[in-house]
Structure 1
Amino acid sequence: MSSKSIDETVLQEKLFETKAKRSIAEKPAALHRNAAWVDEDDEEVVVDLETSRLKKLRKTQEETHVSGGVFQERLKKQFKSGRSAAAWADLDAIDAKKTNHNEDSEEEEDIFAGSTNLLGTGQGDVLPPITLDVLRMKDANIQSPSNSVVQSTQFHANGQLLLTAGLDKTLRLFQIDGKQNPKIESIYLKDLPISCAKFSNDGKRAIMTGARPYFYVYDIEGGNVNRIPRVGARKEKRWLSFESSNDHLAMLGDDGVISLLSERSNEWIGSLKMNGSVRSVAFCPDERYLMSTGSDGEIYQWDLRMKKCVYRVADEGSLGSGAIATSNDGKYLAVGADSGVVNIYDPSTIRHGVAPKPTKSMMQLTTAVTSLKFNGDSQILSMVTKETKDTLKMVHLPSCTVFANWPTSKTPLNYVSCVDFSPSSGYFAIGNARGRVLLYRLTHYAST
């Protein structure tokens, strides 16, 4: 071996030796955590281990009492044996996770797939226009797709439960976690193809209507299904749609009649009558007023205590309207026409006898608007027509601009029949004609 090779070998060994020593020196020592408080009297305490709750801490059958210090040590050992169940409280693991947060891209992808609230900036933040950050999740009803068009889908107030219903006469409940979305319950109604289903506002019941003069109420806690045989003295043969508030059910009937029922007892308490046919209604945020629209292309506001019309005005440019929605903050009223135009109004500017001017007219849809939905913080409006395939638009508020990046031409929407946002707006569900409920994660918002 040449002298040059020997020198190189020696240099290489020194380099690796130095690097190894540096690596060992730089490795952080395990952090020692001191107890926040120590009670010196613990050693004087005597603990009785013969109680049924503490028998598992005994070392032998004859052992009946131990000192406070020994008792403490055995409790610690028992806790560590089941540590995985309380990983959220493992401070060392949390510190390690923080250290490695930017080093493992695959772990970051798992976080995205799990739809944890680490993604969201939280409700109350300003949503930027133009681009909407969206992640595709597993279908909400992947474990039990519908055998017909999904007529209704809605999130429970807790944000973790989702219902789906359709003409296959089945109500399904799913637990939404973004990963498996397990099915919780399935209710089959042999005599009711379901056209509309919603949770009651207290979340304890699910109400289902269809092409029948009666409707059903499912008691989620008790597991009972009750049939409500009629709506007052009304003669309707079908109840295809309704809306609910804390106090009322507003059932859409024939000849422009909106029947009001008690949300708690399902008893009929009055009716409202508009011109033409009623196609859509929405409660105002204070629930004192109800908005409605229909075939005459007009907007109605009803005082629910007086059971009378407060105002009736024309929806600009509409010869018939099929959808109406109010935002939770009371700043927006959206009305969708048969022409596909969606007018967005400031409700405070609408007065009786004066034709209101829209804040913005959205022209992106070209066939009849069938669904409008505001998200929880009123920064997004979803616009849908079920008459044209792959047609759904998301509008940013208050700019009234359509998000350009989503949905795209490759988004598998099919014919969209219904949509809903989770209470935090972290999830967006889309029911379609193929019996699927597509689930998307809006990463600007917390998942729960």
Structure 2
Amino acid sequence: MQLSKSTEHYISYFIDHFSKFYTKSPKHKQQELDNIYKKFFFKLVAAEKAVKALKYKNGSLVKIVNEEDIPYTELLNSNFIPDYIKKYINSRAIYYIVFNNKIAGKQITIYFVLFKNSDIMNIEHYESYVKLMLMWLHMSGLNTTHCLKQLKIYCYMTSYLKVLPGSILTTLSADNCNSAITYSCKENNEICIYRKEEFFKVFIHETFHALGLDFSRVNDKKLNDNLKSLFPIKSKININEAYCEFWATIINNIFVSYTLLDHKKINDFILYLDFFNNFERIFSLFQMYKILRFMGLFYSDLYNNTSTSIYLRHHMYNEETNVFAYYIIKTILFYNYEDFIILCNSMNINTFRFSGYSGNLTRIYDFVKKHYKNPKMRENMIDIKDIYNELIDDDKKENDKLQVNKKHTKKNNRKIIGTTRMTLTEL
């Protein structure tokens, strides 16, 4: 598997600006981080061996003749899934592939529902996904979770992308920001993924809920209320979603880095992982800036106590899904990802699985409070604004038939200006 064309394309927008956002960590911090990365590397090696030992079966390809043939989950009835996507699934599905496996004595069933004949010619790609999915489930500590006995994963691989609304009068909702849904820590659980975009990262995010790797075992109301004192906006501020999205992004990069290695050398793995994490830091800032710009806001308007900022956030900030968690809190965590990984490693048993101690919620709040006004981050927000304005200027130049970067045409610029995907990196 290789990087997707979308990833390569999006990276091209930021590669020339990389040095502005990169800060070399002090030696002691980098050593601590490298030791954590090494643990992940050895867990991946062990997971790959375990999955090979499963001798997991190739998927069974099944033709869909009637709507009743489509693998169905009640999660499809959720209001989080746009009606036009539900209709597309029910009317356009042509085949599905099903994989059945057991990990740690738990039954895992994976369905890929396909909509294009070209997908049928690329079954090996889905088999590669299954290998990575099983590796992650093994690595996640599935054998120690009490959350489930059986997991069914429904992957409706539609081509619908997450994009900004066409009108600034439209409030950001699940249509623009969400890709999947699951139940939290349920014995016979299901995951429903309804977009191909960001598929593997989204899968990891949902497993944080399904396997109880998140805050579901503790009451995080006080934490969310405290965060609201920092950011007095119209949002429920569900930091649990930010935590899951942060770790889904890191773990996705871990798998991408490992998969791209021709020879599984640990130093190369660390180099790749740092590379992708730094690009995700830039992309998270870009997406945060763009989301707030769509609302008519700057980041400082979310917390400043000037009369202008108070007025703007009160009247302009709106959301119908966890926008603040996905794009704002997650960016604060990811901009400081080295420190947050080290913090999680110190307070959790296996780094990413949240330990159900309420004091750890306080530590996360203290982390956000310490870093949300990071001077370097605010400086980089100006750099992001300049990058964004360059894209707008290129559009104007193309309209006026002036010289522009041939890779960054008006059509391509509109993709990166319009996308609301949360991560840059995918296979």
Bigger helix share: 2
Normalising to structure 2: TM-score of the pair? 0.22
Whichever of the two has the greater Rg, that structure is: 1
Bigger strand share: 1
Normalising to structure 1: TM-score of the pair? 0.22
